[in-house]
Amino acid sequence: MNEVRQVEELHGLYGAFTMSERVLQQIWLRRDFECLDLRTASGKTLEILDPGSWNHGGGPDFLNAVLRIAGELRTGDVEIHFYESDWQAHGHDRNANFNKVMLHVVLFEPRSLDRDIRLVKTDAGQGLETFYLMPKLHCDLESYVEAAALREMGRVDHLEWVNAFMALDAATRRAILERAGQQRWKQKLGYAKQRLESAGWHKACHGYLLEVLGYARNRLPMARIAERYPLELWESGAVEVETAHLSECEHWARGGQRPANNPLRRLQDYMRLAQRGPDWPGKLRAALQGLPAATADVSTAAFRRRVGMSILQEEFHRNQLAKVAGLTRCNTAMVDAFLPMAQAEGLLDSFWYWWHWPAGDRPDRQYQFLKTVGLCDRGNPLCNGWVQGVLQLFIEGGWQGDCIDLP
């Protein structure tokens, strides 16, 4: 890995999360952002002809990239950071190994427009062009982080930490994944509290559900539509769905989607929910508040039998959410949004519901990993808590024995 491995804690649509520079490097390598009409911070045109060779050793992140800057064809290195000030903080301005860097790719734009105090120069005194990545991203940062973690799951045989994790005894593996799953819960609960404090129950439900209907790559456009068109406009029929859809026409990601997940189709489904009857968020609130009290220290199978999980799923899918999407996607809404909101709103102690609820949309490789580590089998069904724990483990880059205080 590069000589500086930086990890930042950020806030996304669904809570605080950690993000490593490795994810930023993957975004650059895959050119997973809007690549048309790019400009550097100084206003020069930028074309990425070759992102360069990913350097996993010391020195710049990408070597021998080919760019066209202000019409001039240039070959050199590229360095990637969260903040512009990281260039000096990491000592690159005093390191001759970075003298061939021609572009500094930075995730966040500086809060101040005064960049003179942060002018990026090499050890040789050469000034660098800076490119701000955030405005060109296709989706929210958490989606990029989760996508990177899922890609890592596809190469578990090549990850050194997985072998160390599998060498642990079953109780220790379980404890690590429980801790990781609980961390995901705390993140989602914390952001649910923020949403409720800033928006209130009805507006938060409206925004959350539209975001969930956008799936990972269209959550941000859906969030903007939710802000632009409040719930009361949908309930009164004042929203022209096609107009709302066109308002984000430049931002929809449609590649690889099934027809049912087309954003226009999802907006039409949401309109049907909003007009089905007044105050769907109020009905959802009452249903959540009416759930029976949950108890800890039982298996997923036992918990589901006790509360009648299959009946509850159908109740929320059919009656509260009017089948606005398939059952799996509605389960995603429950675990990503509504169960954390219920806890934050004080409607019920919803952690164990969140943990044992079906996981919603998830790739098969998460189940395969949990099956391999001995946590899921015929008698122990897959649940959201374990799925979230696995995801958090891969987001953090694996199990670090000296970083987890196990009982």
Per-residue pLDDT tens listing for the chain (407 residues): 333 445 555 555 444 557 788 889 999 998 988 888 999 999 999 999 999 999 988 899 999 999 999 999 999 999 999 989 899 999 999 999 999 999 999 998 887 655 544 568 899 988 899 999 998 887 678 778 878 887 888 777 778 888 888 889 989 999 999 999 998 899 889 889 988 998 999 999 999 999 999 887 788 889 899 999 999 999 999 999 999 999 998 888 776 567 667 899 999 999 999 998 789 999 999 999 999 988 877 799 999 999 999 999 999 999 999 999 999 999 999 999 999 999 999 999 999 999 999 988 877 888 888 888 888 887 789 999 999 999 888 887 777 654 444 44
Alpha carbons 390 and 165: distance in angstroms, whole number: 12
Is residue 184 a part of any domain in this protein?
A: yes
Q: Same structural domain for residues 103 and 156?
A: no
Final residue in a domain of this structure, among 136, 157, 192: 136
On whether residue 132 sits in a domain, the answer given is yes
Residues 187 and 60 in one domain: no
* 406 is a domain residue: no
Q: Please give the tally of structural domains in the chain.
A: 2
Residues 55 and 86 in one domain: yes
Q: Write out the residue range of the structural domain in which residue 49 sits.
A: 7-136
Same domain for 36 and 99, yes or no, is: yes
- Cβ pair 337, 360 in contact under 8 A: no
Q: On the CB side of 179, how many CA atoms lie within 13 Å of its CA?
A: 16
Same domain (yes/no): 222, 364: yes
Query: Is 72 found in the same domain as 166?
Result: no
Widest Cα–Cα separation across the chain: 69
**407 domain-assigned:** no
Domain edge (last residue) among 136, 151, 168: 136
Q: Are residues 128 and 147 part of one domain? A: no
Output DSSP code: residue 36.
S
Give the Å distances, CA to CA, from 395 to 42, 111, 162, 251, 391.
34, 27, 13, 26, 6
Say if 263 falls within a structural domain: yes
User: pTM to 2 decimals?
Assistant: 0.78
